Amino acid sequence: MSNSMSGNSGNPMSGNSSKNFPNGTECVARYDFKGNSEKDLPFKKGDIIEILQSTRDPNWYNAKKVSDGRTGLIPINYVQQRRALHLHEMPWFFGKITREKAEELLTPREVGLFLVRESTNFPGDYTLCVVSPQNNKKVEHYRVISTSDNQVTVDEEAFFPTLIELIKHYEKDADGLCTMLKKPLKKKTEILQSAIFKESFQKEGWAVPIEDVEFKELIGKGEFGNVYKGVWAKKTVAIKKLRDDSKTAQSLLAEASVMTTLQHKNLVVLVAISFQGDSILILTEYCEKGVLVEYLRTRGRAVITLEEQKGFAIDVCNGMRYLEEKNIIHRDLAARNVLLSDELCAKVSDFGLAKDVEQELASGKFPVKWTAPEAIELKIFSTKSDVWSFGILLWEIFSFGRNPYPREPLDELLTKIKSNYRMECPEKCPPFVYQLMLKCWDADPSRRPSFKQLHNELFNPDRETKL
């Protein structure tokens, strides 16, 4: 049976639920629930609820409110599964622009050229604007209705869980529109407006009240601002607190948007996000042993074993293999962007960000020593440029955190690399690992191995020269 709210006067308990949530599923409350008995779990709209167990009644589940750990019974129609955001996949979404502005942007008129904007007449809905083949290539504006069960539709016949799925459908078939969607009008920047991000994080259950976040000590200072150790929902977390700068805010939110789509043991996991005025907090899992490069430098050869070095290399490669499969480019892979859990599991962090190469080069902040030549010269970033960076990271691991290209002047480095200069093998590094580094540093990106191939090489139990 459908759990759609349409036609039931807004009563979320009308009809039976067809939802089936596995134990451990995180959900977001769509409505307030006060509870009718002592066994019920009261909650407010926006609270994050973890499903613990189903009951004999398919409409009711045992659940836990994440913020305070309280448990009880909940009506399943009051919650929806916490979903990933795919805002980085929506370059055609232009936010709050007028009808007139949309028509101006879709000039010169090309049949099937389209964009999506927020509806000005129906707040909460969207408008699909597409150049029609009729009437001298007129721009048609289709209202995209957001239903009460968080689906979207143009004609109230075909329903989709997200705008992305709706767009993909009409890119394959006009299905009642004036034309099939042929070409998205892309924004000059991939970063979306902060307001759009905020609304999306709240809607999908990633935003939490700032008063529920407890700050502990300062543990670092990064590109975006300060990083603190803290507590949320009785869980230790790392908190990135944003500097008050709109472009930085958009970059940070873009990173968090990507993180909602990823779940892997070798990636730093997003826990939640919080807004207060212009302040933005990003809560991620806390890694007890800190930054990999600092761990390597402070422990050194006397403490860190070859087996642990092997573990770090395999963990990072495993995380990067996952990003490779998801077609996500890191752009700044280095030991400073890898964190270690209490069990010394390495986790890649700070992935998915769009970098302003020109600005970073001009400011001297660009990580030249870790970046592939084609990314520096031609601004071409790819999984293969990440592979180059992984080779540098391997060198960092097996040199116990030394700075790459020691004693090489930075302004001469690219010229030397293009002349086939490569770093020497770190002391006592297994020869086959150094050979992997050299493969990663091939001048031709197409000849560099994939992360899948690198993982197989590092994890090969039959290799004579074991790590």
CATH code for position 29: 2.30.30.40
Residue 375 lies in a domain: yes
Q: Residue 366: what pLDDT?
A: 77
Q: Are residues 353 and 452 in the same domain?
A: yes
Q: Residue 246: what pLDDT?
A: 60
CATH number at residue 413: 1.10.510.10
Residue 201 lies in a domain: no
Q: Could you list the mean pLDDT of each consecutive 10-residue stretch along the chain, which spans 467 residues?
A: 31 49 86 92 90 92 92 92 75 87 94 92 88 95 85 91 90 95 79 63 85 92 82 92 68 80 92 83 94 96 94 97 92 95 95 49 70 92 96 98 94 94 96 97 97 90 50
Of 311, 196, 319, 318, which is closest to residue 262 (Cα–Cα)? 319
Residue 55 belongs to domain spanning: 25-81
Residue 2 lies in a domain: no
pTM of the model: 0.75
Q: Are residues 242 and 323 in the same domain?
A: no
Of 179, 186, 152, 181, which is closest to residue 169 (Cα–Cα)? 181
Q: Residue 151: what pLDDT?
A: 82
The answer to whether 241 is a known ligand-binding residue is yes
Q: Are residues 313 and 345 in the same domain?
A: yes
- 83 vs 412: CA distance, rounded Å: 47
Q: Residue 9: what pLDDT?
A: 33
User: 10 Å Cβ neighbour count for 84?
Assistant: 16
Residue that finishes a domain, picked among 254, 285, 316: 285
Q: Are residues 341 and 272 in the same domain?
A: no
Cα dist. 254→192, 197, 210 in Å? 8, 8, 20
Residue 11 lies in a domain: no
Residue 65 lies in a domain: yes
Residue 18 lies in a domain: no
User: Which of 40, 125, 155, 332 does the annotation list as catalytic?
Assistant: 332
Q: Are residues 325 and 434 in the same domain?
A: yes
Residue 213 lies in a domain: yes
Q: Are residues 41 and 110 in the same domain?
A: no
Of 336, 332, 401, which is closest to residue 370 (Cα–Cα)? 332
Q: Are residues 278 and 164 in the same domain?
A: no
Residue that finishes a domain, picked among 66, 81, 96: 81
- 175 vs 108: CA distance, rounded Å: 25
Q: Are residues 144 and 130 in the same domain?
A: yes
Structural domains in the chain (count): 4
Active site residue 332: yes
Q: Are residues 50 and 119 in the same domain?
A: no
Q: Residue 350: what pLDDT?
A: 82
Contact 230, 237 (CB under 8 A): yes
Q: Residue 361: what pLDDT?
A: 47
Contact 314, 249 (CB under 8 A): no
Residue 195 lies in a domain: no
Q: Are residues 299 and 261 in the same domain?
A: no
- 404 vs 393: CA distance, rounded Å: 9
Q: Residue 91: what pLDDT?
A: 80
Structure tokens, 193: 């407006």
Q: Residue 16: what pLDDT?
A: 41
Q: Are residues 125 and 240 in the same domain?
A: no
Q: Are residues 420 and 453 in the same domain?
A: yes
Q: Residue 83: what pLDDT?
A: 78
Q: Residue 275: what pLDDT?
A: 83
